[in-house]
Structure 1
Amino acid sequence: MKKYSYHLVWLAGIYLLSAFTANDTAYEQEIQQWHQKRVESLKAESGWLNLAGLFWLEEGKNTFGGDGKNNVNFPADKSNPFLGEIILEKGKVTLKANADAEVFNGDAPVTELDIFPGEKPVTLRHKSLRWFIIKRGDKYAVRLRDLESEYLKGFSGIERYPVQENWRVKARFEPTTGKKVSITDITGRTADQDSPGTLVFNVGGKEYRLDAVGSTENLFIIFADQTNKTETYGAGRFLYTSVEKDGSAWLDFNKSINPPCAFSPYATCPLPPKQNKLALAVSAGEKRYGEH
């Protein structure tokens, strides 16, 4: 009878171990699938790996093309020498292409077209190049993509910490009304962004706080931590989450990601506000990819 009892206990132990292993594997698979989608988004046409230039426009006419005499210098080996003019006039941007420029909006050749502002961004193409207008503060710029970019060709994946479920932390969401968070980007421009509230969480018995921007359905967190010094991107990382019905939010640090500036020198990334610099080493998520 005693041997039979021991056998049951042994079987029960094996069953529990198998259950825990299956659960851990399921969570790891979830993170792996999430990360694969993340990599695919970086490599996509709208991703960050193909950025090839960021050109700030001057008021008035800005000539553009592959020749160095232009105001906006596209890569000489990817562009005709003179493609035309990009005209900025009191917040309105118009493109005038030379007759032989081979500039297209979709499949339609472009001679003259208002490209900013509009209901949605207008993306133009010439050979492997794609470009559109962005606005940062009161400045306007051409953001250029190259579908044959060396950054895209040289991408070999992102090193990450091992998936650890204990870095999936439940936080308390403290809502606020009318709160603003000052966010500075790498160009030195600072803007006050709406913050729906603060996330309060515990690690190792200590309480930490992170201000979020965005909305309760899509909280965006820009944070720094002690791993930035040696293992993760020096300018901090990003994390997204949302508020649950009970007022909590999951902070899954296994989904901490590098900002676009880790992959391209042509991105304009926001930096962590001082209150989001954690006195904590978050050894989860993406590790350092590069310092541009």
Structure 2
Amino acid sequence: MLRWRHCCTIGLVALLAACGETSAPEDPSARADAARRDVMFSAQTRVWQDTRRAELVAPDGWLSLIGLHRIELKSHFIGSGETAGIRLSMGPDKLGLLQSDDGAYAFTPERGVAVTLDGAPVRGRVSLRTDADAAPSVLGFDEGKGALTLIERGGSAFVRARHEDAPTRRRFTGIEYWPTARDWQVDAEFVPAAAGATLPIANILGMVEDTPTPGSVAFERDGTRYTLQAIDGGDGTLFLIFADRTSGHGSYSAGRYLDAPAPGSDGRLQIDFNRAYNPPCAFTAFATCPLPPAGNRLDLAIPAGEKVYVPATTV
């Protein structure tokens, strides 16, 4: 009998303690502050999404690409006509002649065709810079709607063509996102790499280039530590290329990109997966996207940021 009463007493004490815990009043000011932070975070994320969309659909954005042509000969006639060596999908039948000589490039416009170089009218043969320089030359055509630039990738040179009326731009269907979630803004630690360290980065064309890496970013999720190797994003910021368990299952199969701020003096930073975005190759076949290095394929599902892009199937 005493044993039973003792057990009941213990049970009653535990029950009263539990009731006391669940019935403790919640701080309304703390709840209001949390709600305000959530609203502000969602608003800031929306501003970033709007800026991202504006850059993508700009007349010279990634959606305007209409071609990527390898420069294989010393001379190439460029145009949309059947006789062009580099045949454009849009623009005049005969645009001009591209010549190359040991890494130096020149362009001569077709007589009677209006072409500009960096905004100024072209009257004759002009030299061209590639994107290996500070900024590539821009050859404009179709009254400024079209543009050609030269890019270098993996030891090869290409003509990249853009046009404001590109089908990918006219038929753009918009970007879908997972719901914004503050818990995907995570605290991280920057781990510096040795001086001169490089990272082999393959692009979607199958080329591999050793790219300088400043170090890696480490974070924890559900008690597990994950690491992403970084590329210099400029001005001390970091550029992350990653794949996760949503790749091909809700997000773009080849992975996504993420810009991270410069680490603080203590090596700490925050990375916000709500701002993970698709590479240009998710929108066009004419980009040369770098792919995630082997160490950046995470055994973790990250349902945050941009979802896979679904293009329009009709005009």
| TM-score computed with the length of structure 2 as normaliser | 0.85
Matched, 1:193 2:211: yes
Structure 1 residue 290 displacement after superposition: 4.1
Task: Note the alpha carbon deviations across 1:190-219, whole angstroms, 9 max, x for none.
Answer: 001111111111001101111001157121
Matched, 1:229 2:248: yes
Matched, 1:256 2:276: yes
| TM-score computed with the length of structure 1 as normaliser | 0.91
Aligned to 2:285: 265
Aligned to 1:24: 38
Give the 5 Å matches for 1:42-57. Answer: 42-57=56-71
Amino acid across the alignment from 1:289: Y
Structure 2 SS opposite 1:249: strand
**What's the RMSD between the two structures over aligned residues?**
1.9
Alpha-carbon separation, structure 1, partners of 2:304 and 2:157: 36
Query: Which structure has more strand as a fraction of its residues?
Result: 1
Structure 1 residue 119 displacement after superposition: 5.0
Aligned to 1:87: 99
Q: Is the 8 A contact 2:181 2:304 kept in 1?
A: yes
Deviates more, 1:246-255 or 1:107-116: 107-116
Structure 2 SS opposite 1:142: strand
Alpha-carbon separation, structure 1, partners of 2:53 and 2:24: 43
Task: Note the alpha carbon deviations across 1:87-113, whole angstroms, 9 max, x for none.
Answer: 111101100112212112214134211
Structure 1 SS opposite 2:213: strand
Task: State percent identity of aligned pairs.
Answer: 31
* Structure 1: stretches of 5+ with no match in the other structure: 1-8
Aligned to 2:84: 70
Change (3 A) 1:154 1:10: farther
Q: Is the 8 A contact 1:182 1:190 kept in 2?
A: yes
Change (3 A) 1:47 1:198: same
Q: Is the 8 A contact 2:60 2:164 kept in 1?
A: no
Structure 1 residue 66 displacement after superposition: 1.1
Matched, 1:218 2:224: no
Aligned to 2:20: none
Aligned to 2:11: none
Aligned to 2:140: 125
